[in-house]
Each structure stands twice: as C-alpha cells, then as structure tokens.
Amino acid sequence: MLDSSSTWLPSFSSALGPPDHLAGIGRGIWRVRTGGRALVVKVGPSASDEADGLRQLAAVDRGPPVPEVVLVQDDLLVESWVEHGPRSQEAEEGLGRSLACLHDAPWPTWGGGSGWIGTCHLDPADAPSAAAFYGARLWALAERCGLGAAIGPVRGRLEKLIPPSAPSLVHGDLWWGNVVWGDDGRAWLIDPSVHGGHPEEDLAMLGLFGPVPLRLLGAYTECRSLADGWRQRIELFQLYPLLVHAVLFGGSYRAQAEAIAQHFG
C-alpha cells in the first residue's frame, strides 16, 4: 500500500521503474517488487554509509553474503531482497567460517567506516590504537546517556584489557536481527556499521541478544583462532552496543552497561 510517507517513490520509479507491489516491513523500510524483482527500500541518513558497508563486505573473499546494492541516492538505499529460509546447523557453521574470513580482512586503521549504528550517529574518526578507538567511542556514548563516571575507569584500563591486534574489517552491528537465514541455505548479513575493529566485537554483539551456537564458534575457530581470555572479554566488547541502546532507549540497557563498566573498571 502506498502512503504519504513514501516520498522516495519518484526517485525509485525514475531509476528502476514504478513498483508493482509495495509493503512496509519496518520504520522507513519497504519491500518492493518491480519488473519481477524483489527489493528492499530503506530511507534515512545512514543510506550512503550502509551502501558502502555492504559493498565492502561483499568484496571479502569467502566472507558472509550480503544483499546487492541496487541504488543509493542521498537518503535512499535500494538493495536486493534475500528470500528467507529455515535456520540450519549447516548455515550456522557456514556463518562461523564466513565471519572468520571477514575478520581476516584487514582495515587500514582503527575506527573509520560508518558514522551510524542503527539510528545512532557516531564519530567515524580514525584512531591510532584499539584502546584509543574504543575508549573514544565508549566515552562519547556514555556522555550522551549520563554514564561518564562509570565508563571513565574502564576507558583508562583498555590498553591492558584489549589484547594486541591489528584492526579487522568488522560488521559492526552484528546481532541476530541482522542475520537472515536465506532459502539458499546460507546466513546473510544485513544493516552493517563497518569499521576497523577487534574481531571479538562482532562475536560479543552476536551473543548479546541470543546464544551463539557452539557449532558456529567451532567452525570459526577452525579457520581463525581467538586470543586467550576471549570469553572473559565478551562483556567488555558488549559495552559498546549496550551504550548505543542506552542512548536510544535508556532503561535496562543503561543499568546493564553500568554494571559491566563497574566490573571492568
């Protein structure tokens, strides 16, 4: 159904033809069919960043499959629709292997990349080290949700808490809602917030809103080892997405972030 919020329709129709069918599937997101092809339309200020992220992920050899970027104009992103299928053990193992390949992809510096995670705006500035990058990002978010006093001590200890590593290309917003189980038997990734980060960031966020299957971790570690003590750092790397949620929603996310900060501070 078309409505007054579909201000993107003229641009879409001019580039790709008028839609045969249109249905809202989320805030600022539509599933559109035109010319026999199913597409997803997203409208918002992060459109260009997300398109760049999808292209960067798609370029990784044996990395996770992602939707094709069909059109990007200002605040409009059009990408291919991924037909959904059942979740399977094979797809979980495949996700583990493809994430390991993704994290083997180098990134020239810490940070950089997208200035958005969901609807939360971020400073995409580069940083000289993991501690500097995560410290700046945690501090900026903490200041926005009134948790500066709690985050300060953690920020001061990040050089000791984060193991030495070169920056990797990370998805940056890897929760289960951004994993699509395709009808081709593969796990597809959507809605990236790519940057140069520590691989444990993606794995920690994946475990924030649901368990990470042991078979996924097993497949990952067959391809790429994890540094000693990674299990003890899961909550440390969950601080970032929790602070994002505290900024956007407050409530229990703020309390959870504060508790983790006290543990590591």
Residue 46, helix vs strand vs coil:
coil
Q: What is the pLDDT of residue 5?
A: 53
The answer to whether residue 78 scores a pLDDT higher than 90 is yes
The yes-or-no answer on residue 49 being catalytic is no
- The alpha carbon of residue 105 and the mean position of all alpha carbons in its chain are separated, in whole angstroms, by 16
**pLDDT per position as a tens digit, 96-113:** 999 999 999 989 999 999
In the numeric block, which tokens belong to residue 72? 């990007």
**pLDDT per position as a tens digit, 233-259:** 999 999 999 999 999 999 999 999 999
Whole-number average pLDDT of the chain: 95
**pLDDT per position as a tens digit, 48-70:** 999 999 999 999 999 999 999 99
Q: Helix 252-264 and helix 148-161: axis angle, to 10°?
A: 50
Phi-psi category of 120—alpha, beta or left, where left has phi over 0 and alpha has psi -120 to 50?
A: beta
Q: What is the pLDDT of residue 14?
A: 93
* Given the residues 49, 173, 191, 202, the one annotated as active site: 173
Identify the CA nearest to 217 among candidates 79, 95, 91.
95
- The C-alpha R_g of the chain, in whole angstroms, comes to 19
Q: What is the pLDDT of residue 176?
A: 97
Q: What is the pLDDT of residue 4?
A: 41
Residue 111, helix vs strand vs coil:
strand
- Percent pLDDT > 70 in the chain is 98
